[in-house]
Amino acid sequence: MEHDITLTVNGREESLTVESRTLLVHALRDRLDYTGPNVGCESGKCGACTVLVDGDAVKSCTLLAVQCDGSEVTTAAGIADCATSENGDGQELAPLQQAFVEEHGLQCGYCTPGILATAEDLLAEESDPDRETIRRALKGNVCRCTGYQHVVDAVETAAEYRRADDEPVESGEASD
C-alpha cells in the first residue's frame, strides 16, 4: 500500500509517495536527501537518527513516514536554518552547533546530528540545565568516541549562548 504524504522538513514543504513500511529516516535520507539523521543501531537505542518532529526529539528509525504525514520535521541542519531564518541557507552555524565546534563535542561525528536534535529539544525546554540533566537528556544518544565530557561541555556552552541571545541586544550586533 502506498500513501501520498506531506512533510515540512527544515521549513520546506515536501510531498512524496511512500510505502506503508517506509521509515521516516529512509524517507528523509533516501527520498528527500536530508542526510542529517544517520542510521546506526536500527533498534531505537543509539539515537543517531534523532530528528525533531513537531518540536519533539524522536528516533526516525522507529517511526513510519506515513505516521508523520502533516508534521514539521527538523534535522540537525535545520537547527542552523532556524538560527539564520533570514536567508535560510544554513550557512551560519546555530549557537548549539557553534558550541560543538568550540568545545570539540565530536570526533567521528556520526552521532552528532542526533545529539544536536536531542540537545535542541532539551534547550527549548530548559534554558539552564545542569550537567546531570544534560547527561540524562542524552541517555538515548550513544557516542563511542568522545566519552561524552566534551559533548556535555558543548551543550552547557550552547545553553549559555542561547541565554545571552535572549537578553536584550545593546548595540547593532551581528549585522553585516
Partner 1 sequence: MFPARFDYYRAENVDEALALLDEHEDAEVLAGGHSLVPAMKNDGREPAVVVDLDVDDLRGLDLGAGGTSVTVGALTTYADLAADDRLAQVAPVVQDAAREVGDRQIRNRGTIGGNLATAHPAADPPAAVLAADATLLVQGRDGSRRVPAGEFFEGEGETALAAGEILTGIEIPGQQDVGTAYHRRTHSATGYALVGVAAVISAVQGTVLDARVAATGVVDRAVRLSAVEDELLGSSVGGGSIEAAASEAGAELDEDRLRSDPQASGEFRLNLLETEVERTVSDAVDAAESDGLGF
Shortest CB 54 distance to partner 1, Å = 10
The contacts of residue 78 (CB under 8 Å, 6+ apart) are 9, 10, 11, 36, 52, 90
- Directed axis angle between helix 149-166 and helix 95-102, to 10°? 140
DSSP state string for 53-75? ETTEEEETTSSBGGGGTT-EEE-
| Residue 53 bridge partners (DSSP) | 56, 73
40 backbone dihedrals φ, ψ, rounded to 5°: -115, -90
Shortest CB 72 distance to partner 1, Å = 14
d(CA 117, CA 115): 5
Cβ-based burial of 168 (10 A; exposed 0-12, middle 13-18, buried ≥19): exposed
Q: Does 35 bind partner 1 (CB under 8 A)?
A: no
Shortest CB 85 distance to partner 1, Å = 24
Q: Determine which residue in the list 36, 37, 40, 47 makes contact with partner 1, applying CB under 8 A.
A: 47
d(CA 4, CA 144): 38
Q: Does 159 bind partner 1 (CB under 8 A)?
A: no
Q: Which stretch binds partner 1 (CB under 8 A): 82-90, 96-104, 137-145, 154-162?
A: 137-145
The count of residues interacting with partner 1 (CB under 8 A) is: 32
Q: Does 23 bind partner 1 (CB under 8 A)?
A: yes
Q: Determine which residue in the list 64, 82, 93, 145 makes contact with partner 1, applying CB under 8 A.
A: 64
Q: Determine which residue in the list 33, 87, 89, 139 makes contact with partner 1, applying CB under 8 A.
A: 139
**Interaction site with partner 1 (CB under 8 A):** 1, 3, 19-21, 23, 26, 42-45, 47, 50, 56-59, 61-64, 66-67, 118, 121-122, 136-141
